[in-house]
Amino acid sequence: MKGSIFSSLVSITNGLHRDNRQEKDFKYLLSDFKLNQKANNAVFKVNFKKPLNAKKEYYQKLIFNETENTVASFAKEFPKNATTPENKYSYTILLNKFDKYLNDIATYINKRGITSDFNNDDNYIINNLKVSAIRLYAELQGQYGQFSENTKFSISEIAEKYFNDETFDVSLIEKNTTKKVATKTTSKLKSKPKTSFAFKGKDKSNLLKVLEQLQIKIDLLENRTTTKQLLEILTTDDFTSLSFNIYFEANTTAIRYIFDKLKPQFKNLKLSEIERSNKFYTKNDFELTAQNLSSSKQYTFKEKETIDNIFKQMQ
């Protein structure tokens, strides 16, 4: 099959249903198959049912390879020296591509009567393809969504939007956790992980006023989060002891700028520590990462003047 696996497998004329090769043929193909490494920049991973025959395994590996290659290619599509208009253009191109993948897969599922009976080879493979395409869409949003004004969707919403699937098992796509490589211990004592952003001030009331004005003027927080909760996360001595998270309504560019404006009031409000806290999320439940915040830095954007005025008034 030529072209992207996300298109070729669901081609009405040359798709998966045209593949009449036998089990022995797939075993032969697997004997010399090279599986790619997982993309270093991956935010998510797919947890799909283990393939139990050679055909399922062969296509599962093909889908895995192309998915990881696509995610890895984001770095090339969004180079560090790119301008905001260039990044917005790249985002639109990729979003349109993934949108077509998902629509084509949905059409194939309907026309071919694909079900969730994974004992059937075609059902297993196409459902794997479906989950992987949803992951690509989520990866793009999660890593570079700040370059689009389009509505962002959670994984369950993507499944419902394209496949009318209201019971999609979101555990099939979960956040990727990278294991730390063990290093040799030295005679120096390792510092304990910080559990506070180390607020420098004694009076928190002025900071609360800033947060409240940001909420009123730019809709900083989603309705499940309060300004007092954000204040508590920022100023507590131990954010790991707090059971709630912060969900932002504002776009990532504005959030990054606000963190920059707040930084002088803290000893430890660094992008790496913001990520490590695991406390900050977008309204679509994507965790804010240092990479995401770093790539969101812009010098001109819609809310900038409003944010500047709020901070000036509170000085």
Per-residue pLDDT of the chain (315 residues; tens, 9 = 90+): 567 899 999 998 888 999 999 999 999 999 989 988 889 889 899 999 999 999 999 999 999 999 999 999 998 999 888 888 898 999 999 999 999 999 999 999 999 999 999 999 999 999 999 999 999 999 999 889 888 888 888 899 999 999 999 999 999 998 876 544 444 444 444 555 678 899 988 888 899 999 999 999 999 999 989 999 999 999 999 988 888 999 999 998 999 999 999 999 999 999 989 988 989 998 877 888 888 888 888 888 889 999 999 998 776
pLDDT at 106: 95
Cα distance between residue 298 and residue 33, in whole Å = 44
* Statement to judge: residues 247 and 164 lie in one domain: no
Torsion of CA 289, 294, 298, 301, to 10 degrees: 10
Please count the structural domains in the chain.
2
Q: Is residue 136 part of a domain?
A: yes
- How far is it, in rounded angstroms, from Cα 154 to Cα 141? 9
Residue 185 lies in a domain: no
Nearest partner of 47 among 189, 154, 155, judged by Cα: 155
* Judgement on whether residues 103 and 252 belong to the same structural domain of the protein: no
Statement to judge: residues 134 and 242 lie in one domain = no
In a domain, 303, yes or no: yes
pLDDT the model gives residue 186: 41
Q: How far is CA 63 from CA 48, 133, 161, 270, 287, in A?
A: 12, 9, 22, 37, 26
Q: According to the model, what pLDDT value does residue 180 have?
A: 41
- Burial status of residue 22 (CB atoms within 10 A of its CB: 0-12, 13-18, 19 or more): exposed
Do 20 and 157 fall within a single domain?
A: yes
- 80 plus 229 within the same structural domain: no
Answer yes or no: do 145 and 269 share one domain.
no
Could you tell me if residue 41 is inside a domain?
A: yes
Contact 82, 90 (CB under 8 A): yes
How far is 90 from 111, CA to CA, in rounded Å? 32
Do 309 and 227 fall into the same domain? Answer: yes
Pair 106, 239 in one domain: no
The answer to whether residue 186 sits within a structural domain is no
Last residue of a domain, one of 175, 196, 227: 175
At residue 190, the pLDDT reads 52
Give the bridge partners for 287, in sequence order: 281
Instruction: Calculate the CA 159 to chain-centre distance.
Output: 15
Domain-located, residue 198: no
- Amino acid identity of residue 151, one-letter, is T
Looking at the structure, tell me whether residues 161 and 254 fall in a common domain.
no
- Global pTM reads 0.65
Domain that holds residue 241: 205-313
What's the pLDDT at 181? 40
* Residue 277 domain flag: yes
Same domain, 159 and 226: no
Co-location of 157 and 251 in the same domain: no
- 234 and 286 in a single domain? The answer is yes
Q: Residue 203 has what pLDDT? A: 84
Residue 254 falls inside a structural domain: yes
Sign of the alpha-carbon dihedral angle for 218, 81, 97, 163: negative
Tokens coding 109: 């599922």
Spatial contact of 238 and 172, defined as CB atoms under 8 Å apart: no
